[in-house]
Chain A
Amino acid sequence: QQPVQSPQAVILREGEDAVINCSSSKALYSVHWYRQKHGEAPVFLMILLKGGEQKGHEKISASFNEKKQQSSLYLTASQLSYSGTYFCGTERSVNAGNMLTFGGGTRLMVKP
Chain B
Amino acid sequence: GAGVSQTPSNKVTEKGKYVELRCDPISGHTALYWYRQSLGQGPEFLIYFQGTGAADDSGLPNDRFFAVRPEGSVSTLKIQRTERGDSAVYLCASSPSGGANTGELFFGEGSRLTVL
- Which residues on A are within 8 Å of B, measured CB to CB? 2, 29-30, 32, 34, 39-44, 47, 49, 55, 87, 89, 91, 94-105
Contact with A along B88-104 (1 / 0, CB 8 A): 00010001001110111
Q: Can you give 15 contacting A-B residue pairs, CB < 8 Å?
A: A34-B105, A41-B91, A41-B107, A41-B108, A47-B104, A49-B102, A95-B99, A97-B31, A98-B31, A98-B33, A98-B105, A99-B56, A102-B44, A104-B41, A105-B41
**In the A-B complex, the 9 residue pairs with the closest CB atoms:** A102-B42, A41-B107, A97-B98, A44-B104, A41-B109, A42-B107, A87-B42, A102-B43, A94-B100
Residue of B nearest to A95 (CB): B100
* A55 cross-chain contacts in B, Cβ below 8 A: 103-104
Q: Which residues of B contact A (CB under 8 A)?
A: 3-4, 31, 33, 35, 40-45, 48, 50, 55-56, 59, 91, 95, 98-100, 102-110
Residue of A nearest to B106 (CB): A44
B98–A105 contact, CB under 8 A?
A: no
Instruction: List residues of chain B with CB within 8 A of the CB of A103.
Output: 42
Interface on chain A toward B: helix, strand, loop, or mixed SS?
A: loop
The chain B residue with its CB closest to the CB of A40 is B109
| CB contact under 8 A between A42 and B91, given known A100-B45, A103-B42, A105-B41 | yes
Min CB–CB distance A108 → chain B (angstroms): 15
In the complex the two chains form, what is the Cα distance from A104 to B95 in whole Å? 23
Contact A91 B42 (CB under 8 A): no
Contact B107 A97 (CB under 8 A): no
Residues on A with C-beta less than 8 A from B107 are 34, 41-43
A75 to B56, CA, bound (A): 34
B109 contact set on A, CB distance < 8 A:
39-41
